[in-house]
A and B are shown apart, each in its own frame.
Chain A
């Protein structure tokens, strides 16, 4: 298990380094969760299992399906674009049913700390409820809110704030696998 964890950490590091839209807080879920992201070395000549080209890989989920949805200011309503992303997430989770997901809700810094924790929870919960409505078993999903504690962008402009108002679906291996 220890070696397995180390390997995972390494692959996470590699995976994140390879991510073009790398979530600097992507690995912030519960300690001990496994992340199956594989190294995306950009190697040509066939699909590397676990790489972003492997449709069964979390890297594929993060990059191609899209691991996050964004929200309007002070809102937790899912836009049409967000719903399309979540449809893809649901489909992926249906196919890869040995994975669990933690949905992390976040807010931009334009709000008070406690309120933003509750607002992030609304966003994460709306995301989770949508996935459940698409047939994902509730016991594969849980959510947590980080409020404004973990921004991915730090500028004080709407372009950054918009990316921080997010719910990120973080994939992890299930207990049995």
Chain B
């Protein structure tokens, strides 16, 4: 385990990303934010919007009341925006191995959103052989690319530096300003994700989710001898590392808000108990002071100081809240029913949970300070595993109806329910840090059944299997790094 911890630290240097400060590049504030003034301006957005409409006569849904080109992420049907990303230009001999891979990871990120469509490389007319050379816009217009992304990569002394620019092909102008990121060689995928996050932000006006990690349960073996262990990976399934062995059943890990700790349920003592694990040191322990013999379904509060979880006493399961720092847990629900799967609102004031107090699983919201819960789900079927969106606007859930399972979303008052998936066994949604994509587990049935991770955008357009070395379940998405 200590070896694994060292690997994690080595591949995740806290200051591994530095903003470019040469006169040609915008300072990137440790690669996290584009300064406000460098954001894609309204005027440019309008120009691109007009160009777009003139060029491909998009459906009316994308016009967004004549506003800027804002890919409406919540709309049901849109035409993905066509973009091109040639291989990055290798500026040093040691960088050539990354030139193509970086472009491929960026493309996988962007295309994976369902908002963008890549113009295949075979169709490209121009070859970008110099990052500084003028862009041949005519060539890119000819292949109907609306957006062009160019990049370069240099390697020196084990460090990789990536530069990139985003171009509005039809206006013939640059979108925002060029930026650069740097990292040690083993962090090259993160550089690609950072570039893709920037492109996403410039084209949607929202922060991205590509440079993020997911903690999940890695599963192997047949259904009746399933071995489970905690694992952590990049959001796209790369760089999997294991956090526990498979000696005990482990379930439902949950990241702390800044990703430094993980709450999960383990049967290490023989009963399910809430554990807390330090991601850096890979050390874990039973959550101190958690009441009850059987405790499970933990989640952090948005400030990371509290844990809400379930405790089973006799036939009754209730929800408790405790301070990680110490003190007695406080009981929040008091009915003789199954109250579980609690999740905080992003402002920390309310908790959504599931309860069968009405006779079957339904969703309820209660104030953190206590008080009567309000039922919000009233459709047919059963509703479980609610998770509050980081944007605060939606609640994702698992719905069981007529022998099928669905991942769905509804507004926090229960209105506008939409089901995004359907299969014999989908469950356990988790939100991307920007609240636009949901990851979940899908189990196939029968003797050969396995569990896999999938993601789906909140509009339900793009369902993607997340490739992991073994099976996977119970994903929990961490913050944007």
Residues from chain B with Cβ under 8 Å of A146 in the complex: 249, 267
Within 8 Å of chain B (Cβ to Cβ): is A47? no
B338 touches A154 (CB 8 A): no
Kindly list chain A residues whose C-beta atoms are within 8 Å of the C-beta of B443: 109
Q: Which residues on the A side are within 8 Å of B449 (C-beta)? A: 154, 156
A162 CB, min distance to chain B CBs, angstroms: 15
Main secondary structure of the interface of A (DSSP, over half): loop
Asked whether A114 lies within 8 Å of B249 as measured between CB atoms, the reply is no
| A152 to B314 CA separation, bound complex (whole angstroms) | 24
Complex interface residues of chain B between 224 and 273 (CB less than 8 A to chain A): 224-226, 228, 249, 251-252, 267, 269-272
Give the complex CA separation of A154 and B226 in angstroms.
11
B223 at the interface (CB under 8 A from A): yes
If the complex has contacts A122-B315, A156-B424, are A115 and B340 also in contact, measured as CB distance less than 8 A?
yes
B338 touches A119 (CB 8 A): yes
Q: How far is the CA of A113 from the CA of B267 in the complex (A)?
A: 14
Q: Are A149 and B447 in contact (CB under 8 A)?
A: no
**How many whole Å from B349's CB to the nearest CB in chain A?**
23
Contact yes or no, A149 B226, CB < 8 A: yes
Whether the pair A112, B398 counts as a contact (CB closer than 8 A) is yes
**Any chain A CB within 8 A of the CB of B297?**
yes
State in angstroms the CA–CA spacing of A144 and B266 once bound together: 13
Give the shortest distance, in Å, between A157 (CB) and chain B (any CB). 9
Contacts of B212 in A (CB 8 A): none
Tell me the bound Cα distance from A75 to B159 in angstroms: 60
A12 to B100, CA, bound (A): 57
Please give, as numbers and ranges, the residues of chain A lying within 8 Å of B317 by CB-CB distance.
118, 121
Binary CB contact string for chain A from 133 to 177 against chain B (1 if under 8 A, 0 otherwise):
000000000101110011111111000000000000000000000
Restricting to A47-89, which residues have a CB under 8 Å from any CB of B?
74, 76
**A113, A117, A151, A156: the one within 8 Å of B224 (CB):** A151
Q: Which residue of A lies closest to B270 (CB)?
A: A30
CB < 8 Å neighbour of B361 from A109, A115, A122: A115
CB distance from A142 to the nearest CB of B (A): 8
> Is A118 a contact of B224 with CB atoms below 8 Å?
no
The answer to whether B447 and A115 have CB atoms under 8 Å apart is no
| From B267, B384, B428, B446, contact of A156 by CB (8 A) | B446
Report chain A residues within 8 Å CB of B310. Answer: 114, 118
A114 & B225 in contact (Cβ 8 Å cutoff): no
Count of interface residues, chain A, beta-carbon cutoff 8 Å: 34
Q: Tell me the nearest residue of chain A to B384, going by C-beta.
A: A112
Instruction: Confirm or deny: B341 has a beta carbon within 8 angstroms of a beta carbon on chain A.
Output: yes
A118 to B354, CA, bound (A): 12
Bound CA–CA A11/B384 (angstroms): 42
Q: B438-463: contact bitstring with A at CB < 8 Å (1 yes, 0 no)?
A: 00000101110100000000000000
Quick one: which of A92-122 are within 8 Å of B by CB?
Answer: 109-115, 117-119, 121-122
Most chain A CB within a 10 A radius of its CB, from B228, B270, B424: B270
Residue among A29, A109, A114, A149 making CB contact with B385, cutoff 8 Å: A114
A145 touches B428 (CB 8 A): no
- B361 touching A154 by the CB < 8 A rule? no
Task: Decide if A112 touches B428 in the complex (CB within 8 Å).
Answer: yes
- Choose among A112, A122, A125, A155 the residue that contacts B427 (Cβ–Cβ < 8 A): A112
Q: Which residues of B contact A129 (CB under 8 A)?
A: 314
Contacts of B251 in A (CB 8 A): 113, 149
Find chain B residues with CB under 8 A from A29 CB. 270
Per the bound structure, the CA–CA distance linking A126 and B446 in Å amounts to 29
The answer on a CB contact under 8 Å between A118 and B312 is yes
Residues of A contacting B315 with CB < 8 Å? 76, 121-122, 125-126
If A154-B446, A156-B424 touch, whether A121 touches B312 (CB-CB below 8 Å) is: yes
Q: A31 near B: Cβ within 8 Å?
A: yes
- Chain B contacts for A152, CB-based, 8 A: 224
Assembled-state Cα–Cα distance A74/B354 (Å): 15
Query: Which A-chain residue is minimally distant from B312 (CB atoms)?
Result: A121
Give the CA-CA distance A25 to B385 in the complex, in Å. 27
A1-28 interface code vs B (CB 8 A; 1 in, 0 out): 0000000000000000000000011000
- 6 further A-B contacts with Cβ under 8 Å, apart from A112-B361, A114-B384, A156-B449, are A25-B224, A112-B398, A117-B312, A122-B315, A125-B315, A150-B224
* Nearest 10 CB-CB pairings of A with B: A156-B445, A30-B270, A118-B317, A112-B384, A118-B338, A154-B223, A125-B315, A122-B315, A114-B297, A154-B447
| 8 contacts across the A-B interface (CB closer than 8 A) | A25-B224, A74-B360, A110-B400, A112-B384, A114-B340, A117-B294, A121-B294, A121-B317
